[in-house]
Amino acid sequence: MFYADTIIIGGGASGLMSAISASNSGCKVILLEKNNRIGKKILVTGNGRCNYTNILLTKNDYNHPFYVEKVFEGFGTQNTIDLFESFGIVPKVENDGKTFPLSEQASSFLDVFLYELSLRKNIEVFLNKEVIKIQKNKDGFYVRTFDNNIYSAKTVILCAGGKSMPLTGSDGSGYSLAENLGHSISAVFPALVKLKVDSPYLKQLSGVKINSQIDLMVNDRIYQSEYGDILFTNYGISGPTVLELSRKANEFLNKNVSPILRVIIIQEISKSKIIERMENFANREVSQALIGLVNKRLISVLIKEAGIAKTNTLVKDVESKNLYKLIDLMYDWRFKVIGSLGFDDSQVTAGGVKVNEINNETLESLIIPGLFFAGEVMDIDGRCGGYNLQWAWSSGYIAGRSAASRCQGN
């Protein structure tokens, strides 16, 4: 049997931050990680550059704004930047507030964590330790691992992550551990994920990238709009804009409603100007009339979708209803969403341990005193752009500090 003040389950972003934070108060910390190394997921974040926070963060970038607000008041973006800077990470702020290490290497985070852990003699890291059971006892907890070791502590912080990219270790086991202790889990589904759409043109469109507006709609009502890069793939639509829309799209799909993605290819020119252009180009082939206006690889698809049989038909010979349809498509091109890729391809998991069962000042369970939560295992997810790691750092810091203070009897 191994003893500590606090046992942290999971050595990802939130677990590592919890360990540092709890150790600051001098309490003895054991960190149990099922992989043979810590922080596997951190390495793949931000395309290997780790977009570790966002200086423009607001509570509204998350699914439970008022819940996260309290946590960020306790440890926010600037605290995170300052703490990592004290570890050696120099921040580099890019577009839209996205913040990366100046080294542009996610591995810098792992290196500084390993160094910090080596300095703190009150943290013991155990690798290859998959936790299979947490049991509450009179004075605290017993934690059992797959290889039948038992660890005992006054407090436990569950930082086992969600279900996204299970190859990095987060396979959803945190939910069962929490459920076994009486916590409820709200439905989990992939978020920040590519969407599948129903379209006969996907093969032709695959690889085309445009910069435009995309709306998520149901019954002609717009639920969310994003502007930026859109990438057509052989199964659907991807790109940062679509990742942002994917959470809401999956919410609808979970209710058996197929939402629509409306792509607005042209925003800069009015419809009347395009009509005028078509009149001026009446003697050109319709495909030629679109050159310079829209991405060349979209032209034949748009012509087909408008019901025009041949791309070399002269503009003046196109039936007016088809010509208007062609022009309308540039402002309103609809794709039915039929699904998303799965957890393997998602950046974050929506849903998780219900937040109304966790105190947002301390991140302590309202059901089991001495049990704390941090990171993606909770029903918190944010936008793409540094928000999910910031949640892991902030919640990890608060949970670690609160657990330590409970151990010291405060």
Ligand X SMILES: Cc1cc2nc3c(=O)[nH]c(=O)nc-3n(C[C@H](O)[C@H](O)[C@H](O)COP(=O)(O)OP(=O)(O)OC[C@H]3O[C@@H](n4cnc5c(N)ncnc54)[C@H](O)[C@@H]3O)c2cc1C
Residues that bind ligand X (CB under 6 A): 9-15, 32-35, 40-41, 44-46, 50-51, 130-131, 159-161, 164-165, 168-170, 173-174, 347-348, 375-376, 386-389, 392
Provide, rounded to whole angstroms, the least separation between the CB of residue 30 and ligand X: 11
Provide, rounded to whole angstroms, the least separation between the CB of residue 335 and ligand X: 24
> Can you tell me which residue has the tokens 């794709």?
335
Provide, rounded to whole angstroms, the least separation between the CB of residue 406 and ligand X: 21
> Which tokens is 56 given?
């423009």
Closer Cβ to ligand X, 127 or 275, answer by number: 127
Q: How many CB atoms lie within 10 A of CB 161?
A: 30
Distances (CA, A) of 80 to 52, 66, 184, 264: 9, 20, 30, 38
> Can you tell me which residue has the tokens 């540039």?
330
Closer Cβ to ligand X, 106 or 202, answer by number: 106
Provide, rounded to whole angstroms, the least separation between the CB of residue 240 and ligand X: 11
Closer Cβ to ligand X, 38 or 301, answer by number: 38
Distance of alpha carbon 111 from alpha carbon 265, whole angstroms: 44
Closer Cβ to ligand X, 259 or 352, answer by number: 352
Cβ contact 196:341 at 8 Å: yes
Distances (CA, A) of 31 to 5, 18, 353, 402: 11, 9, 21, 16
Provide, rounded to whole angstroms, the least separation between the CB of residue 237 and ligand X: 18
> Can you tell me which residue has the tokens 């709306």?
215
Closer Cβ to ligand X, 10 or 239, answer by number: 10
Closer Cβ to ligand X, 372 or 387, answer by number: 387
Provide, rounded to whole angstroms, the least separation between the CB of residue 40 and ligand X: 6
Q: At what angle do helices 13-24 and 387-407 cross, to 10 degrees?
A: 30
Closer Cβ to ligand X, 37 or 277, answer by number: 37
Distances (CA, A) of 148 to 5, 9, 144, 214, 334: 20, 15, 6, 52, 55
What one-letter code names the amino acid at 11? G
Provide, rounded to whole angstroms, the least separation between the CB of residue 403 and ligand X: 15
Closer Cβ to ligand X, 151 or 335, answer by number: 151
Provide, rounded to whole angstroms, the least separation between the CB of residue 76 and ligand X: 14
Cβ contact 260:334 at 8 Å: yes
Provide, rounded to whole angstroms, the least separation between the CB of residue 126 and ligand X: 9
Distance of alpha carbon 376 from alpha carbon 353, whole angstroms: 9
Q: Which alpha helices (DSSP H) does 153-239 contain, by range?
A: 173-180, 202-205
Instruction: Tell me the torsion sign for CA atoms 9, 156, 89, 57.
Output: positive
What one-letter code names the amino acid at 322? N
Closer Cβ to ligand X, 108 or 388, answer by number: 388
Cβ contact 355:377 at 8 Å: no
